[in-house]
Amino acid sequence: MLYLLFYSDLNHSLFILLALFFVILYEAINGFHDTANAVSTLIYTRAMSANHAVIMSGIFNFLGVFLGGLTVAYAIVHLLPNDLLLNSNSKNALAMVFSMLFAAILWNLSTWYFCLPASSSHSLIGAIIGIGLTNSMITGTSWVNALNIPKMTNVLLSLICSPIVGLITSGILIFLLRFFLKNSNRFYQIHMTPLEREKRDEKKRPPLLIRISLILSSIGVSYAHGANDGQKGIGLIMLVLIGIAPSSFLINLNASKEQIVCTRNTINILHKYFSKNYITINHSSYQNKFKKLTVNYYFDNTIKNIQSAKFLLKNVYNYNNLNIQNRNSLRHLLLFISDDIDKIITSTNITDQERFFLEKNKKNLLKTVEYAPTWIILIIALSLSLGTMIGWKRIVITIGEKIGKKRMTYAQAMSAQITASFSIGIASYTGIPVSTTHILSSSVAGSMLADGSGIQISTIKNIMLAWLLTLPVSMLLSSSLYWISLKLI
């Protein structure tokens, strides 16, 4: 990390460190903004004291970041087209980075101040969209080319659908608990509130099995939150460093000889596959001529990019031997090949075996492009976990007291936490950035609706309003800040 101080002139180095500071600040705010998702049910069911719950959540957020991989991180990086990220001059890159960070931080702090469980993911993605659209207006290019539309569509769909999934799944779990335990002596225990438990059984803590379930599901939410939201922080730092210090971060300069050879071998394998299938398509009788032309277009582009990448990597065993132009070209080519593979998978009738083959080789192809130094992962893990341990009370009150008309029961708490931990965990594994806040708050609402306890309409309206405003407001903030920055520099 210290070499960043000597990356270029002193001002450039200071700007890089300042950008890293704001990413760390964003991730710390993300920590205490979203802590309620993991600890509110523990606190309000008295399964664990507030201090112990927050410390536990911080520890498992740290582990989630450190062990969660990089799939979600690069879903964030690829939201901005590669050309926009790499073709900006240093001043534009600085304006882009700081506008994006300020917009996300301002909105997150505002919603936290007003105790609204808004989405840090929405604010970050909105800020990225705002930058891309503003850049297209300034440069006079098409807004379609200003954003990576396929990646953006997938991310936005996941952010919209995940709360609905949380609402429905949590409600189903409540229904199942009621159905299977209706004749059990434990039915009343699981469907009572902590106050009812204290009044009836003269005990403040939940029954042992319920308490264990609540703690384990809370650990699951904390770990999943670290793996998903922590990866967004890693992606944000990589976005910053690729934009401001491209020569050092375009590709993994610390890639081993074996990793580089693996990349070269993968390119050779793909070359054979596409050359063979291109010949097969040209000699086949397609009924749909337009489809045949489309497939040939993708194959032509892919083969050309593969040949260029093979030429660049010929006799290369250390990426440090490549100059800045070749590093830039290699990154472009590998990402173009990856995008072509995605298009071919979705636009042609290939077999499951071929799809598996292409996806496996795509993953191997990007090993030295989709990376993050260990120090970045460690910084984000520490920032998120430390942020988790401060400033958590404001959102906890909203989740624990203001969503339902009545106090939360043990069954409602477990249903919401289990739903959130599995939903976010699956999303992290598959590389989908989702909103932890929206999944858990909707899961709490779903469990209370299914249980017939009702919800506070005013709170739900406020949460929905924050949900709807986050994307456009963060877009407007980042767009305005970017435009002003470009005028000033």
pLDDT at 282: 47
pLDDT at 276: 78
Q: pLDDT digit string (tens) for 5-26?
A: 455 556 667 777 888 888 888 8
CB 35 within 8 A of CB 396: yes
pLDDT at 36: 64
Whether pTM exceeds 0.75: yes
Tokens 């207006």 sit on residue: 137
What residues have CB less than 8 Å from 353, skipping those under 6 apart? none
**Tens-digit pLDDT string for the chain (489 aa):** 555 545 555 666 777 788 888 888 888 887 777 666 678 888 888 888 888 888 888 899 899 888 888 888 887 777 776 666 665 556 677 788 888 888 988 988 888 777 776 777 778 888 888 888 888 787 777 666 666 666 677 777 777 788 888 889 998 988 888 887 777 767 777 878 888 888 888 888 888 888 888 899 889 888 888 888 888 888 888 888 887 778 888 899 999 999 999 999 999 999 988 887 765 544 444 444 434 444 455 567 788 889 999 999 988 999 999 998 899 899 989 988 888 888 777 766 678 888 889 889 999 999 999 899 999 999 998 888 888 777 666 666 666 667 777 778 888 888 888 898 888 888 877 777 777 777 888 888 888 888 777 777 877 787 788 778 888 899 899 999 988 888 776
pLDDT at 284: 46
pLDDT at 342: 81
Angle 375-377-381 from CA coordinates, rounded to 5°: 115
